[in-house]
A = this chain, B = another copy of it.
Amino acid sequence: MATRRNLILGAVLMGVGGPGQHHTWLDPEIPGDASVDIRWYIARAQQAEAAKFDHVFIVDSQFITPDSPHHYLNRLEPLTLLSAVAVHTSHIGLVGTLTTSYNDPFNVARRLASLDLISGGRAGWNVVATGDGGTAGNYGRQEHYDYATRYGRALEHVRVVQSLWDSYEDDAFPRNKESGVFFDKTRQHPLNHVGEHFSVAGPLNIERSPQGQPVIFQAGDSDEGRDLGASIGDAIFTHAATVEQGRAFRDDMRARAAAKGRDLLIVPGISPIIADTDEEAREKERALVGGKDFARALKELGRPFGWHDFTVYDLDAPFPELGDAGDRSFKTQAEKIKRLARENNYTLRQVVQHSIDAQRSPFTGSALTVANEIQRWFEAGAFDGINLTITVPSEFARFTDEVLPILRERGIARTEYDATTLRGNLGLPVPENVHTRDRRSALVS
């Protein structure tokens, strides 16, 4: 990873309305059914690929109520979606979210390995342990796994999946029509894993792709989440409000990874607001943030507290004392909100207003200003790249057509793809098959 020169560029593909983007479906450029229209996703991926982005990124959720945000209500399953995108693109990486809490490792390994082969080595897995506790009810459980169990399962799950991906060594299938040799049995390896959370015999029924194994993405800001990311993540999806916070997070994550003999890439989500001048961009931001619905923000505040209903409180009284009862789905986020209220003596109204204001983007301005700011963060070590979250196509085009050329000229963004695999473009090596490695070691010693 020492040879990395380029800013990593990811695009978070959404249909209608991400968190805080309740009204995007009203935009004339966004079809009302974008979240379930595969043509929309293919076109967005092609737009990102034309700009030489490293990857597209598909988030997910599986707990639905009548009051869920628009894009929760009705959306395509991430890997089914990405397989269709794979065969209409050629270079861009395809990162899909799958939970380790409510999927079997054998199925996850198979589906991601299939996407990896279909795309010629462009698959990535965004590992989540599922935040929304209500998901449990869709999978035969009365209650969501507790926090420690979720992270314990996640670590073991990913290890099992990665081991399944090594079921066949790279030379397992000679497929030599002249000699008549299709398969070399000595290059197939069962797993026979028996662990705390999973027992999986293996082998998997699919060979490795040109990139060896899919790339692992992970997010999670708690101590447990950071340790999991340091253990398994090739790249970490995060948020960063300031360059100092970004650098502190990256330093911490790289130190945790280094302690395990690893390195990783930090790629926060950012939503630039670009206009002809800085003043126009700030005006655009005010219009966007001003359009936010206070009532909806009050409802969304409940999510980190297990969709707690905040409408029952007096808005101008101090932020309610919620105690520590029950397992919360988004532990770190909930603790941050409580700390914010406590340290500033905020009322509930002030906490909600803060959550609205926090959606202001530090990357707001003219193309030159946004390019300068991205360069500053990148060179300060606040991130290795960005996951761009801009849903409106013409706004996305402002980034690719106005900001990127500046970053290209400065040698920060790529002008051409380095490889046809996601690992190749991210500068990550192809992991050697563990069984091949073991045999090589045995030969040397």
Contact = CB atoms under 8 A, between A and B. Distances in A.
A185 interface: yes
A110 B183 CA distance: 35
A416 to B, nearest CB: 24
Given A32-B173, A201-B138, A42 B77 contact: no
Interface stretch (A114-122, A227-235, A270-278): A114-122
A140 interface: yes
A177 B62 CA distance: 26
A103 B79 CA distance: 16
Interface string A128-150: 00000010011111000000000
B183 A104 contact: no
A84 interface: yes
Contacts of A203: 64
Contact of A73 (B28, B198, B201, B205): B205
Contacts of A66: 185, 188
Given A87-B42, A182-B16, A206 B75 contact: yes
Given A182-B70, A185-B66, A115 B168 contact: no
A200 B67 CA distance: 19
A106 interface: yes
A380 interface: no
A32 B104 contact: no
Contact of A206 (B76, B87, B185): B76
Contacts of A185: 66-67
A88 interface: yes
Contacts of A202: 64, 138
B207 A36 contact: yes
B64 A205 contact: yes
A106 B33 contact: no
A310 to B, nearest CB: 20
A157 to B, nearest CB: 12
Interface in A228-287: none
Greatest chain B CB density within 10 A among A28, A80, A104 is at A80
A180 B293 CA distance: 14
B79 A175 contact: no
A36 B106 contact: no
Interface string A149-179: 0000000000000000000100001011100
B175 A25 contact: yes
7 contacts: A25-B177, A36-B206, A70-B182, A70-B183, A73-B205, A84-B84, A137-B200
Interface of A: 16, 25-26, 28, 32-33, 36, 38, 42, 61-62, 64, 66-68, 70, 72-77, 79-81, 83-84, 86-88, 102-104, 106-107, 110-111, 113-115, 117-118, 134, 137-141, 168, 173, 175-177, 180, 182-183, 185, 188, 198-207
Given A67-B185, A73-B183, A79-B80, 16 more contacts: A42-B87, A64-B188, A70-B182, A73-B188, A75-B206, A76-B114, A80-B114, A81-B83, A83-B83, A84-B87, A87-B87, A87-B88, A102-B104, A106-B138, A137-B200, A139-B200
